Amino acid sequence: MNERSVSHNTFTIERSYPTSPQRTFAAFSDPVKKRRWFAEGEGFDIDAFEMDFRIGGTERVTFRAPNGAVYVNHTVYQDIVQDQRIVLAYTMGSAEHRISASLSTFEFLPTGKGAKLIFTEQAAFFEHADGPKMREEGWSKLLDQLGAELARTIRSERT
């Protein structure tokens, strides 16, 4: 009882994409695109994907692992500036217990060739959490998947 049950951590990941800030932002605001790069990972079934992209709106993704374990990602949008910034708070956990709460900031900056995305995660990890190393690896993989989604956008515009 005398021990702390929370550890805090902040990390930043930067990525450059060949799409404009507007197109990059659209991969977050369009539920069809967001579901593709954010939720449809390997080895997990999606039980539910509900998204209400507006300030104060919520998003809930429920995954089922091959062993039947259910994971819930629950998001509340805290701030949105069209094509420039998205700030959201999310928790990760099972249906009953959360293992973490985070504040995530996505900044979309124009570059000569497309967009720079600066992602900042400010996390509080609870008992049985993955911790900052695994979380950063997880987000790095997601931002790779975002890159694949944006490449798909470019291909579909050329055809």
Give the nearer residue to its own copies in terms of CB position, either 107 or 149: 107
**Positions in 3-22 near its own copies (CB under 8 A):** 4-6, 8, 10
Q: Which of 26, 70, 87, 142 binds its own copies (CB under 8 A)?
A: 87
**Residue 145 sits in the site that holds its own copies (CB under 8 A):** no
**Residue 110 sits in the site that holds its own copies (CB under 8 A):** yes
**Residue 132 sits in the site that holds its own copies (CB under 8 A):** no
Stretch of 25-33, 44-52, 77-85, 143-151 lying at the interface with its own copies (CB under 8 A): 77-85
Stretch of 23-31, 64-72, 114-122, 135-143 lying at the interface with its own copies (CB under 8 A): 114-122
Tokens (6 digits) for 18: 């060949």
